[in-house]
Amino acid sequence: MWQLAWWWILVFFPVPWLVRIWTSTDLLDGDAALRVPAPREFENLTGRHTLRDLSSWRLGLLWLLWALVLVAAARPQFVGEAVAMPMSGRDLLMAVDLSGSMEEQDFQLAGQWVDRLTATKAVAQEFIERRLGDRIGLILFGRETYLQIPLTFDRPTVQTLLDEAVIGLAGQETSIGDAIGLAIRTLSDAGVEENRRVLILLTDGANTAGAVEPLKAAQLAAERGMVIYTIGIGADALTVRSLFGVRQINPSADLDEDVLREIAVLTGGAYFRARDISELEQIYFVLDQLEPAASDEEGFRPTEELFFWPLGTAALCALLWLVFGVLRARGYSTPFLMSQMTGERHG
């Protein structure tokens, strides 16, 4: 829609007219060279356009110029549709375990048994989709640790690269400490403020590789203002068939919950246990509450300033006013016509 940001400026429009009324006529006409009671008689004698024609044009241009200047000063704008903008955002890293144990098929997804990584991808992608306004990065770790994608607002790309991750890509072992260390370095290099550094670390095992101990890395993360949420993934019990009949096993026997819980405590985060898809989904919903995505309650309307249109038109009117002034000075004025008539009579 169109609007005037400073519409109250238009109240000054009648100022020239008020000045004309309140100012003494003698002051306005004091510099007149010759007063003629009826200029139309001279127009009829000469047949030329005199001061009356040009003065009316000049007066009209002055009023138009004044109106255009006021409109330009009132700041005409075109305001577009409202665009929601996040009030605040998070810089969030996700560290996903790709070690060999993630092949364990102890999760059910849509009635089918799937491995832990497939279940993680299905739930994590929905979580990423909801992080509107946040920058998200992805770390993949096994024996080695990789920054798969740095912090970015491009959530579809993060989802794509997570979906393309495969078990064993980073080795068969687990280096939790190195993953935390890489997260610290990534967030520090990105210049992220300390109160906005968040890491979500998902693993199904214990630290079996890497150069950094997980708790030492967690202490360093706490000193750097990073909050770490740890997720232990894997079922507690799984029924399997063998030559000796049906028996139950604990597929998460290698999960080091004590270390994961301590990492979360040291950094002010929280530890979660995901034994099935529903628990994993609930964990990500809880994370949405603990680390809320950017709010889109506030927004802005794109505004285009248009003052230059009336201002440019006013400049054109000023130029025409000067042209009429030059024409008046060169023979189209009443004083000039009167001098011509006086000379002819003397002759």
Q: Look up residue 148 and give its two tokens.
A: 């798969």
For residue 90, count CB atoms less than 10 angstroms from its CB and return exposed for 0-12, middle for 13-18, buried for 19 or more: buried
Percent of the chain with pLDDT over 70: 72
pLDDT at site 250: 54
pLDDT at site 189: 80
Question: Bigger pLDDT: 219 or 326?
Answer: 219
Tell me phi and psi for residue 299, to 5 degrees: -150, -175
For residue 108, name the pLDDT band (cuts at 50, 70, 90). confident
Question: Bigger pLDDT: 38 or 315?
Answer: 315
* Residue range 133-165, pLDDT digits in tens: 788 999 999 899 999 999 998 899 999 999 998
- Spatial neighbors of 318 by CB under 8 A, at least 6 apart, are 65
Whether the predicted model's global pTM rises above the 0.85 cut: no
* Residue range 47-81, pLDDT digits in tens: 444 445 556 777 777 888 888 888 888 888 888 77
* Residue range 243-256, pLDDT digits in tens: 555 555 555 667 88
- Spatial neighbors of 241 by CB under 8 A, at least 6 apart, are none
CA atoms within 13 A on the CB side of 32: 11
- In 126-269, DSSP assigns E strands to 135-141, 145-152, 197-203, 226-233, 238-242, 245-249
Residue 338: is its pLDDT beyond 50?
no
pLDDT at site 2: 80
DSSP label of 192: -
Q: Which residues of 129-154 are buried (b: 16+ CB within 10 A; e: fewer)?
A: eebebbbbbbbbbbbbbbbbbebeee
Q: Look up residue 237 and give its two tokens.
A: 């019990």
Question: Bigger pLDDT: 134 or 229?
Answer: 229
- H helices of 101-239, in order, are 116-130, 155-164, 176-189, 214-223
pLDDT at site 103: 85
* Residue range 159-213, pLDDT digits in tens: 999 999 888 888 888 899 999 999 999 888 876 666 678 899 998 888 888 888 9
pLDDT at site 105: 83
DSSP of 66-127, one letter per residue?
A: HHHHHHHHT-EEEE---EE--S---EEEEEEE-SGGGG---EEETTEEE-HHHHHHHHHHHH
- List domains and CATH numbers for the chain: 2-80+302-346 (no CATH), 91-298 (3.40.50.410)
DSSP of 15-35, one letter per residue?
A: HHHHHHHHS-HHHHHTT-S--
Helix (H) or strand (E) holding 169: none
User: Which residues, listed in sequence order, are joined to residue 152 by a DSSP beta bridge?
Assistant: 136
Question: Bigger pLDDT: 101 or 27?
Answer: 101
* Residue range 268-313, pLDDT digits in tens: 999 998 888 888 888 888 888 877 655 544 556 678 888 888 888 8
